[in-house]
Amino acid sequence: METMIDENRLNKIKIKCGYVEGVCISSNGRSGGMGMWWKDIKVNVVSYSAHHFAIDILNDNNCAMWRAIGIYGWPEQSNKHLTWDLMSSLKSGCSIPCIMFGDFNEISSLCEKEGGPLRSERLMDAFRVTMDTCAMRDLGYRGSIYTWERGNTMDTYVRERLDRFTADEEWCALFPNFEVHNLPIIKSLSDHAPILMSSDNRGGENCGSTGFKFKSLWLSSDECGEVVAKGWSESMGLNMANRVVVCGEKLASWAALNFGSVKKRIKKG
């Protein structure tokens, strides 16, 4: 998540939160800014810039076990290629398990956007191609699909999934019980949602599981199949797990409108 604050203020927040070590990168006005803090682990800072940081997590023998790469993607359409080049360069220079996360300032499918003008298929495709080239998989999420929103009227309101966690298969093998939570946006603090990633979720489910349950009652409506078909079509380009998640969210929203009051009507009857 972009911090939108300068290095000095970010350092004060770091200390207030109980951290001593970390990387703090200043914003450029009201855009950008990044931070990565740690304690009780050994870390080697590999590199950082206004748009990234890369750190290696070390074992007791000071050998790198895996790498964490934070990304702040260029927001301008004309500079999107710089984000993809940066991702490719950082990943190609990494020979250990890797997780890459942050505000990529791009969506991978139309289902990750609501409101505003349609997103260019060319831009989304470039993002997906870069993910494939880097051999990174989307780690999915629990919670809302959207991680950024802006506007407060029907004409100006837009929300998108700009922030995410991705990782290669080697990192996922190290942490098979990972789980990502998209937390609620706190508008007084940021237009981005905080995202919590746990590398050791012992609950079992992960990688896009949302706790969604299909109800056979929904099949009584002819619209059910149409909702699934729309979700499947709009999520073209995502992996199978995330396409299922999208369809589940579409169904849940539709069912809330069409079946949400069934139990109440039964009780009243």
Count of H-run helices and E-run strands, the chain = 7, 14
Q: How many residues does the chain have?
A: 269
145: tokens are: 């699909």
In tens, the pLDDT along 229-269 reads: 888 788 877 766 677 777 877 887 787 777 764 444 444 44
Q: What is d(CA 63, CA 245) in angstroms, rounded to the nearest whole number?
A: 37
Q: What pLDDT shows up at residue 94? A: 98
pLDDT cut 90: percent of the chain above it: 50
Q: Taking the model in full, what pTM does it have?
A: 0.74
Q: What is d(CA 169, CA 81) in angstroms, rounded to the nearest whole number?
A: 25
The secondary structure of residue 183, as a DSSP letter, is P
Across the range 111-134, mean pLDDT stands at: 94
pLDDT at 203 over 70: no
Across the range 85-91, mean pLDDT stands at: 98
Q: What is d(CA 10, CA 145) in angstroms, rounded to the nearest whole number?
A: 27
In tens, the pLDDT along 10-61 reads: 888 888 888 888 888 877 766 777 888 898 999 999 999 999 999 999 999 9
126: tokens are: 């470039």
Give the residue with greater pLDDT, 141 vs 66: 66
* pLDDT band, residue 209 (cuts 50/70/90): very low
Q: What is d(CA 227, CA 214) in angstroms, rounded to the nearest whole number?
A: 13
